[in-house]
Each structure stands twice: as structure tokens, then as C-alpha cells.
Structure 1
Amino acid sequence: MGDDGCGELKLNLLGSWQLRRDTSVLRVAARQQRLIAALAMRGPSLRSYLVGLLWPEYPEARALESLRVSVHLVSRQVPGLIENAGSMLSLNDHVDVDLHRIRARILSLSQPGLDGEVASSLHELRDAEVLPGWYEDWVIFEQSRLRQDRLRAFTAISRHALARGNPEVAGAAAEAALEIEPLYENAVRLLVAAEMMQSNPAAAIRTYERYRGKLGDDMGLLPSDSLRSLIADALDHNATAKKEQLLRATNSWPAGEPLLHHS
């Protein structure tokens, strides 16, 4: 990483907080973890902003002292991690932060040439939760922000996969979106379309019925006309398939054999 003294530092904020240098895990106290996480999420920040963010319940003088001590401890434990420019603090630009990588991946999904990235993006995004178990307002904001970004990304992956004739990936991406927001109708529509593309109208109908029931129970609403029209096609397809199945079964009986035997 050059001559900044930081070494190969990797900061994980997805799943759980962890700071590593190469393969070694670095032990950092909870207060310092919060400071490092805030700088990673919010970017370069004024000291006055950080004290209000991290120690809102403290008087200003005490909060500033807590920040000063935290910066000192981090600088001693992990030299080069925090860049101190007086009133402004930031993480070293060379620190590899997994949250930054996942956001870059989401941004790349809106660019041309998505084909090679779909499967790996879906796998990488599915479990990308920011610091689960952290309940401070500024963390909850970042959790919600990434969740919405992931929701849009899954929708984009599903729509792209359908356009490329890949219903397996389209269905998996739509299901991932529904894990985040079960009442997101765009994702329901994409999942229904993927199931229909796989010639599975029964699964499409089940998906619709689950959504319709939950939407009615939770919101007192009905699915949109466009979704009801889409599922009507699935019902017609299902009815046709059953009729063809019955005709094939009927044609398989030996000629002249009665359908019913009377004793």
C-alpha cells in the first residue's frame, strides 16, 4: 500500500465488524470500532460532526475528549489507518472496505456489459447486510440505504436475465428482492414471469396467491391490474396444460375398453 505505514488493511462492515492486516485480525475496542465504521460510511468528516454522531448524549467538551482519545488509540494500535488533518478526519484512501466494493458492484449493474457479472453479483449481494445488530441511528440509516440499493440491483439483475432468456437467474434475483421487501410488486411480477418462462404456471400462481394474501392482510390492498392480467395468462396456460394432460390420458386407454366397469 505504498509508504503510508498502513500495510494491507481490509475493513469488513458487512456481516460483522472486522479489521485485518493481511491474514491477521486486529483487535480494536468497541468505541474505536464505531469511529472507524463512521469514517468508512460517511467519508472525511469534521470532528464537530463526529462528536454529534457518535456521542450525542455527551456535553460537547466530553464528546471532543472521547473523540480525541479514540483517535489517539486507533493511531497507536493501527498506524496509518486514520488520517488526521486537524479539524477533519478520514480513513486512509488505501484501506479496502467491503462496503465500498459492494456499492461499486451495485453501480456497475447499471452500466453496459452486465452479462459476465450477473451470477457473481447475485451471490455477493444476497447476504450483504451492514453491521447487523448495531442499532444506532446512523448505522440504521446505512443499513436501510444499502438494503434499498440491493433491492434495485436484484430487480435489475432479474430484468436483465429475463431479457437474456435466463429464467433461473431471473427467478433467484427476484426471490432475493422479495426477501428484502415481500410486498415489492415489481419483484413479484419478475418472479411470475421467470416461472412462466420455465413452463411452470403452477409455481407462478402460487407466487401470486402468496403475494395477494399478504398484501390483503398487511395493507388491505389488491394486486395491480397489470399483475392480475399476467397471472390470468398463467391460469389460462395451466388450464390448457391440464386439458392436454387429460386428453393424453384418455387417448392412452385401449380402444373399446369402457371407462367404467359395472359389477
Structure 2
Amino acid sequence: MTIARSSARVLAVLAVHGPASRAEVSGLLWPESPQSRASSDLRTALWRLQRTGADFLDLDGQTLAIAERVAVDLASASEWAKNVVHGAWPATETPPPPDGCDRELLTGWDEPWLEHPREHVRMLTVQAIEVAAQRLLTAGRPAEALPYLLQVMRMDPLRESAAQLLVELHLVQRNVHEAVRQYRRYRDLVRADLGIEPGIGMRSLVSRYLTAD
């Protein structure tokens, strides 16, 4: 099925922002156009969407919304992250993150209305994955925590709390060489990017193993 770009943008706005009035949607998508032109563009986008024969939307007067029967990946990822942060599951029973939740929201799209939601979901997801890793590590399951921490570090290489957990994990497994290597790798990164040193909590983990460097 091929969906016109304008129709795809309507679906994206509603998936990201939730139900909205026609005026709100047209204002987000065509902010520089007069309201009458923006409303006309929205009607055209909705008409093109209806021509596909797929029931993506629920239309309630002036309100537009993604149909409940349509699965939205963002909603699934956000729900998982909120449940993890609020401790909805025991550490050892936490389901894995939904596929793709470590990717940027709507990668390649350059839309002003995406900036805040994109950063919001990134921060929430990073926090949730790190929390899941920390709970597994506390539960004595470092091997299961490792993929989560590596995922966090891919998403945010400068995140010291995750980098410190990664060092702790290797020390728990008695992999001192790897713990020191990860510490030095992170230290060199923050020195180069931020001009600072790792915090004292992270340094104290490996200080006994470091030569002067």
C-alpha cells in the first residue's frame, strides 16, 4: 500500500500527539499557511488516505484520532518504558524493550512538531532501559543486564550513570581488565567531548586498578 506523503504526515502527527482537532492538526502540519489553505490541505490529505481503503482513523466531528485497532509502535514503547520506571514488573520478569525503541522517532523526518516528542521519548526510553539493567544487576543477573546497558550506551554514549553500571557489571563478573578498559574509554570520551573527568563515584570503582595515566 502506498500512502501519500501528506497523508502519512497526518497519521504521524496523530500517532505522536494523540487525538487532536482538525484545526490543531492543520496548524502543526502547515504552520506557515493561512488557516483556510491549511484546512484545505488537510482535507486533501484525509481524502487521499480514505482512497487507500484502510481505516486508519476514527473521525469524530472535528476530532481526528488513530483508530484503536491500529497498533502504534510509539505507544507500545512508551507504555513499556513507563511500566519499567514505575516498577510494574519484578526485575526478573520485565519484558524486553519493544523492537526499534532505541531508534530515533521517525528517523529522517525534519518537522518542527517532532522536536519535543522525539527528545521526550528518547529520554524516557533511555531511562527505562537503564533502570531495567540496574534491577537485573542488583538481582545478580549481570549477563542479562549487559545487552540493556550496551543499548543505552549506543543511544547516549556520554551517559555516566549507564557507563558506571557497565563498569560495575564487569567488576561483578571479575573482569577487571574489561572494567578498566570501559572506564578509560568513557573517560577519554568525556574529556574530548566535554572537557571534564568522570565523577568520583565512577573513578572510585577502578582507582585501585589504575596505573598513573
Partner residue of 2:8? 33
Are 1:101 and 2:76 an aligned pair?
A: yes
* TM-score normalised by the chain length of structure 1: 0.73
**CA shift in 2, pair 1:206/1:193, >3 Å:** same
Are 1:111 and 2:88 an aligned pair?
A: yes
Deviation per residue, 1:144-181 (Å, 9 max, x gap): 22211121012111101111111122222122111111
**CA shift in 2, pair 1:82/1:107, >3 Å:** same
Q: Give how far 1:202 is off.
A: 0.8
Are 1:67 and 2:30 an aligned pair?
A: no
Return 5+ residue gaps in structure 2 as ranges: none
Higher strand share: 1
Q: Which amino acid aligns with 2:89?
A: P
Partners of 1:158 and 1:174 within 8 A in 2: yes
User: Once superposed, which parts of structure 1, at least 4 consecutive aligned residues long, lie more than 6 Å away?
Assistant: none
* TM-score normalised by the chain length of structure 2: 0.89
Query: In structure 2, what is the Cα distance between the partners aligned to 1:128 and 1:116?
Result: 24
**CA shift in 2, pair 1:150/1:229, >3 Å:** same
Q: Which amino acid aligns with 1:113?
A: P
Partners of 1:157 and 1:170 within 8 A in 2: yes
Deviation per residue, 1:95-143 (Å, 9 max, x gap): 111221122222222313342335x33x735644321111112223332
Query: In structure 2, what is the Cα distance between the partners aligned to 1:96 and 1:125?
Result: 14
Q: Match of 1:124, SS?
A: coil
Are 1:176 and 2:151 an aligned pair?
A: yes
Return 5+ residue gaps in structure 1 as ranges: 1-25, 239-263
Q: Match of 1:84, SS?
A: strand
Partners of 1:55 and 1:63 within 8 A in 2: yes
Structure of greater Rg: 1
RMSD: 2.0
Are 1:222 and 2:194 an aligned pair?
A: no
Partner residue of 1:252? none
How do 1:1-263 and structure 2 match up within 5 A? 26-109=1-84, 110-118=87-95, 120-121=96-97, 124=99, 127-233=102-208, 235=209
Q: How many residues align?
A: 209
Deviation per residue, 1:51-88 (Å, 9 max, x gap): 12101121211111001111222223235322222321
Partners of 2:58 and 2:65 within 8 A in 1: yes
